[in-house]
Structure 1
Amino acid sequence: MQQFNISTASVIGLGYIGLPTAAMLASRKIKVIGVDVNQHAVDTINQGKIHIVEPDLDMLVHASVTQGYLRATTKPEPADVFLIAVPTPFIGDHAPDLSYVQAAVESIAPVLEKGNIIILESTSPVGTTEKILDWLSLARPDLRLPVEHELDPDINIAYCPERVLPGHVVRELVENDRIIGGLSDACSKRAADVYRIFVTGKLLISNARTAEMCKLTENAFRDINIAFANELSMICDKLDINPWELIKLANHHPRVNILQPGCGVGGHCIAVDPWFIVDKTPNEARLIRAAREVNDHKPDWVLGKIRHAVASLTASGLEESRLKVAVLGLAFKPNIDDLRESPALHIAKQFAKTTTTQLLLVEPNIRALPKPLANHQLVSLNDAITQADILVLLVNHREFAGVKHCINKKTLLVDAIGIDFI
């Protein structure tokens, strides 16, 4: 089998996964060309800075750029390996949108050369990696592609999903095991050569379809378990039981480990990926669909609790327009700045549309509010605590530790994170 030298890599998409991956490769003395359509992201990275919040990533990017191993651009250039890490959202009734992946493949097609490796990292529905063959067949009919030329393809294609935890991405990129599914055995081996550059975890070889389904399965499993906790919290509310106390007690059983309920499920993975399974197999994925529906409903349930708190104050004679409601947390999980599919952000936006109260927003990981909330106030935690008539706890950021000891006794509390049990 022909041996391919890997001295340059191109990462398409410089977001929460692409940029750390690019920086990790660059830290191993691989020349990395990062590609993104966002000119601001490109300019920021070329200054040795980062446009996202992720611990330790700033130092890694600064060192890689300063030493000349990482640079960013808006147009693909030739490289030995191309890693695609672009979004895969859903559209309409939760149908997967593969337009970003297709655009990425078509953008690199003109610069592909014999011996190149293409690895898709974007979380994708089953069969997406095979679609790369279709797109490349149209864009580069001169290339011998895998499957038809399994033993000696010009281009090797594989799927390797990211499986990192926001806030711990730099460490987990190195330590976590990776699932590598090629369109042929040769493709899997070539892709494994790339990840051996920086991964100390196991490289587990499979095929593309199984690797795609593995990532979806991991996130659907987590979604189902979160849905149980969220549904339990709503049941407990109706039965006048503290769900966090109940869960704490139940978890003393040696074979029970119930997760903590919250205001919903967000992010680019768990809130999206299970729908890819449902879309492909709607009649079979009944439990997965039910879990998604429970978690998608939880933000609206919390929103109802906020409106009930407002109604209780206005019923006592206070004017709604004079009330101040403080929302603590907008990110989709603690200690990050990521607002993608955030249930907390959804709650804040929906409440803002239907209230005349003064809305105070606390999110320590961002500097400016997103456009739908731009007319409201981004305030400090101290200002929120001292001014609010109603305090809404949505995200368990580290900055909020001990907040329960500072709340005025007259302040109404809407608690989605279990403040007395964190």
Structure 2
Amino acid sequence: MASICVLGLGYVGLPTAALLAAAGHRVLGVDTDPRVLARLANGEPHIDEPGLATVVRAALQSGHLRPAARPEAAEIFVIAVPTPLQRGEGLPRADLAAVRGAAESIVPVLRKGNLVLLESTSPPGTTRDVLAPVLERSGLSAERDLDVAYCPERVIPGNILKELLANVRIVGGLTSRAAERAAELYRTFVDGEIICTDAMTAELVKLMENTYRDVNIALANQLARMAEDLDVDAWRVIELANRHPRVHLHQPGPGVGGHCIGVDPWFLVEKLPEATRLLRVARELNDGVPKVMTDWAIDLVRDVTRPKIALLGQAYKGDVDDARESPAVRVRDLLVARAGAQVATHDPHVGDHRDVAALHRCVDGAHLIVLLTPHAAYQQLDPVDIAQRMARRVILDTRGCVNRTAWRAAGFRVEVLGASPRPR
């Protein structure tokens, strides 16, 4: 088994490091955040992910996984660091500072024959034009002396371990030798098929997977608006349309979040602005939905002096603790910026106050509930109990997940994205 240095112990890096260790590799897990290292020193991951704590503890106890603040010499290096959007004037751009920083940190310990893998989602050409030149500061050629490859992660929070093991992996090398060496590594712990290609193709595959979903969600959000204007239930339209064997409409919502779907299309727009008009329109449509939801919420309490608005959910999707790029957070920030409303939030997976008592404090005396994240806990709420706690019984369901009949029977005015007339 190999000595491996994994740089970045986030949602992808830590599970990957733990599974590599479980396969028998000697793994050094590197992270620059002392809080992450402190948690691991106590045998606890900093991420709330099903099954992860058990795998991490076993890897640490076996000695096959060792956390560290700096990289050391190894046979294989895996870079799994964030590539967030850099927002400012003009269009959003990929922030590759962490990729460059990780690459720079291993230059002093690189040796001829090392395999370097990039897993971070990146614009096309990053492996060749950004990673390789940094690695070559070691005096080694990225194609002759090293093996450099791109293998994008293809997992979703809430199911990371299963998908790391079972999903098909696309491995793209700067050379065919690099791709095959990378595939050999993944075969030691991945059950899914592993397909070799070139680095640029692998980069584009990853970006198109998420761009397809973003455009599909934009279509669903456009459908929601059409359904509202036509007095039709968009959720029923989607359900019936998806009975067609070649149709797979996604669901509308308060926007698009997470570290991939709402981010990756911008990487393509940045690289190819003239060839990505559809992607840009979809991105702008989805980015605009949080403001639409904010305006809707304000309209529902317009007649109340100093209203209290209870926001249920801050994670970007149901039953995960991941609030990166979450539209729920954007709605919260937009409402807080509006003078005159008291905004309370609750999420059973995000933040320090996750219990039922915190939920009750959130809705006590509220004039409006805005359901932003479809956590199972929210779908199981007793509307009769909630009704007794509120100053006024109104709920705006942006996820189409509440039992409308039960909530209306409890005396609620139920507004549903895609099924209720939207304020003009």
Q: Does TM-score exceed 0.5, indicating one fold?
A: yes
Measure the CA separation in 2 of the matches of 1:115 and 1:175: 29
Q: Look up the SS of the partner of 1:335 in the other structure.
A: coil
CA distance in 2, matches of 1:52, 1:213: 28
Identify which of 340, 360, 369 aligns with 1:356: 340
Alpha-carbon deviation of 1:385?
Answer: 4.3
Counterpart pick for 1:408 among 372, 387, 396 = 387
What residue number does 1:329 align with? 313
Q: Deviations over 1:223-279 (max 9, x none)?
A: 111111111112222333332233223333443332221111011100100111111
State whether residues 181 and 211 of structure 1, in contact with CA within 8 Å, keep that contact through their aligned partners in structure 2: yes
Q: Is the 8 A contact 1:31 1:69 kept in 2?
A: yes
Q: Does the 8 A contact of 1:264 with 1:299 survive in 2?
A: yes
Unmatched segments (≥5 aa) in structure 1: 1-5, 147-152, 370-376
Identical positions, percent: 43
Measure the CA separation in 1 of the matches of 2:372 and 2:30: 35
Match of 2:120 in 1: 122
For the pair 1:268 / 2:279, whether they are aligned, the reply is: no
232-241 vs 24-33, which deviates more? 232-241
Aligned to 2:329, the other structure's residue is in SS state: helix
Name the residue aligned to 1:34. Answer: 29
Residues 141-290 of structure 1: pairs in structure 2 closer than 5 A:
141=139, 143-146=140-143, 153-290=144-281
Amino acid at match of 1:408: A
Moved more, 205-214 or 394-403: 394-403
Task: State the AA in 1 paired with 2:387.
Answer: N
Alignment-derived partner of residue 108 in structure 2: 110
The one-character-per-residue Cα deviations of 1:290-323 (angstroms, maximum 9, x if unpaired) are 1111111111111111111120x32xxxx21xx3
- State the match for 1:9 in structure 2: 4
CA contact (8 A) 1:115 1:154 kept: yes
Structure 1 residue 337 displacement after superposition: 0.9
Do the aligned residues in 2 keep the contact of 1:133 with 1:145 (CA within 8 Å)? Answer: yes
Bigger shift: residues 80-89 or 245-254: 245-254
Distance 1:262 1:159 in 2: 32
Secondary structure in 2 matching 1:136: helix
C-alpha contact 2:312 2:371 (8 A) present in aligned 1? yes
Cα deviation for residue 178 of structure 1 reads 0.3
Q: Check the 8 A contact 1:361/1:378 in 2, yes or no.
A: no
Displacement of 1:144 in angstroms is 3.3
Q: Is the 8 A contact 2:215 2:279 kept in 1?
A: yes
Query: How many angstroms does 1:420 deviate by?
Result: 4.2
Instruction: Determine if contact 2:12/2:153 at 8 Å carries over to the other structure.
Output: yes
Residue 8 of structure 1, CA deviation: 1.1
Which residue identity is paired with 2:64?
Answer: Y
Kept in 2, the 8 Å contact 1:271–1:341? The answer is: yes
CA distance in 2, matches of 1:195, 1:255: 33
Query: In structure 2, what is the Cα distance between the partners aligned to 1:238 and 1:196?
Result: 52
* Number of equivalenced pairs: 395
Aligned 8 A contact 1:10 1:32 in 2:
yes
Paired residues of 2:81 and 2:99 also in contact (CA < 8 A): yes
Residue identity in the other structure for 1:247:
I
The equivalent residue for 2:420 is none
The whole-number CA distance in structure 2 between the counterparts of 1:378 and 1:306 is 24
CA change 1:367–1:280 in 2 (3 A) is closer
Pairwise CA distance, 1:378: 10
Could you tell me how far apart the structure 1 residues matched to 2:346 and 2:104 are? 41
Q: Which residue in the other structure is 2:287 paired with?
A: 296
Query: Which of 391, 409, 413 is residue 369 of structure 2 equivalent to?
Result: 391
How far does residue 386 in structure 1 lie from its aligned partner after superposition? 4.7
Note the C-alpha offset of 1:20: 0.4
1:77 positional shift: 0.6
User: TM-score normalised to the size of structure 2?
Assistant: 0.89
CA contact (8 A) 2:336 2:343 kept: yes
Specify the alignment match of 1:374 in structure 2: none
Equivalent position of 1:25 in the other structure = 20
70, 73, 77: which one pairs with 2:68? Answer: 73
Q: Does the Cα contact within 8 Å between 1:265 and 1:343 map onto a contact in 2?
A: yes
Which residue number corresponds to residue 132 of structure 2?
133
Q: Give yes or no for contact 1:244–1:421 (8 Å, CA) kept in 2.
A: no
* CA distance 1:255–1:136, change in 2 (3 Å): closer
Structure-2 residue corresponding to 1:101: 99
Per-residue displacement from partner, 1:160-183 (whole Å, max 9, x unpaired)?
A: 000001100011101001000000
CA distance, structure 1, for counterparts of residue 245 and residue 103 of structure 2: 49
- Asked if the contact 2:147/2:178 (under 8 Å) is kept, the reply is yes
Q: Which runs of no fewer than 5 residues in structure 2 stay unpaired?
A: 405-424
Rounded to whole Å, the distance in 2 between the matches of 1:355 and 1:392 is 18
Q: Could you tell me whether the CA contact under 8 Å between 2:323 and 2:350 is conserved in 1?
A: no
Cα distance in 2, alignment partners of residues 228 and 398 from structure 1: 25
Structure 1 distance, partners of 2:281, 2:121, is 21
Name the structure 2 match of 1:373: none
